[in-house]
Amino acid sequence: MAENKKTYDLECVQEGFANGVAPGFPLSDKQKEKMIDKAEKAYGKFLDALGCDWRNDPNSNDTPRRVAKAYVNDLWAGRYTAMTPITSFPSDGYDGIVIERNIPLTSMCSHHHQTIGGVVHVGYIVGENGRVIGLSKLNRVVEHFGRRGAIQEQLTSAIHNAVDKICENNLGVIITVVATHNCVSCRGVKHRGAAMVTTKASGVFRHNGNDARQEFFNSLKINNGGHQI
């Protein structure tokens, strides 16, 4: 089999939840426009409640629309826009570990609606006569689940389950997420620089001290031209 394009159902939480997809997913451009119009009005009321005279403030008079657009088109885009089909290729006898590290992550905490920023490291091992997926598809999986509300632990599981599904017949999948949460640095305890690290592993990566898991974490330490790991 040569190149193969496939669409998968990768969702794992209830529709409508901040970390799930919106009802009616995926939304058409027209539906998104309607949603932006509604959210714009509601955000204007939110600013009214906060005592902000946004209508007369030259810096803020278009802010409700800016915020509504940012949610629908960027911050929560994964709730409204479907992922492109996944491309996979024959592994041609390669049976080693495949790792993509430092995939940029931008997300938003479901609890406080503050942004989360960090990186995701993905590893998997192809099964016998298995298939490898186009590398950028791993980035797309991270974008799809990152661009919505998130609890980092559940986000790690969602990315893991998606990679496990699309890398059919794999021998194991491991996901590590390293992220800082603005709800920790800007509010509440107000501590800057604290990073949260979560790892979800399956198959040959499942147990502490085994070779595959060790190889994955060792690969994250290899010099990669000065990028932060």
Of residues 13 through 42, those in contact with Zn ion by CB under 5 A are none
CB of 147 to Zn ion, least distance (A): 17
Stretch touching Zn ion by CB under 5 A, among 104-112, 139-147, 163-171, 211-219 = 104-112
Which residue has its beta carbon closest to Zn ion? 183
Range in contact with Zn ion (rule: CB under 5 A) among 84-92, 124-132, 156-164, 175-183:
175-183
Any bridge partners for residue 87, and if so which?
5
In three-state form (DSSP H/G/I as H, E/B as E, the rest C), the secondary structure along the chain is CCCEEECCCCCCCCCCCCCCCCCCCCCCHHHHHHHHHHHHHHHHHHHHHCCCCCCCCCCCCCHHHHHHHHHHHHHCHHHHCCCCCEEEEECCCCCCEEEEEEEEEEEEECCCCCEEEEEEEEEEECCCCCEEECHHHHHHHHHHHHCCEECHHHHHHHHHHHHHHHCCCCCEEEEEEEEEEHHHHCCCCCCCCCEEEEEEECHHHCCCCCHHHHHHHHHHHCCCCCCCC
Contact 78, 146 (CB under 8 A): yes
Q: Does 111 bind Zn ion (CB under 5 A)?
A: yes
Answer yes or no whether residue 187 interacts with Zn ion by CB under 5 A.
no
Tell me which stretch binds Zn ion (CB under 5 A): 8-16, 105-113, 166-174, 188-196: 105-113
Examine residue 183 and tell whether it contacts Zn ion (CB under 5 A): yes
Q: Under the criterion CB under 5 A, does residue 109 sit at the interface with Zn ion?
A: yes
112 counts as binding Zn ion under rule CB under 5 A: yes
**Which CB sits closer to Zn ion, 106 or 139?**
106
**Shortest Å distance, C-beta 181 to Zn ion:** 6
**Measured from the CB of residue 4, what is the shortest distance to Zn ion in angstroms?**
39
Region from 29-37, 79-87, 106-114, 157-165 binding Zn ion, contact rule CB under 5 A: 106-114
CB-nearer residue toward Zn ion: 42 or 186:
186
Residues contributing to the site for Zn ion (CB under 5 A): 109, 111-112, 183
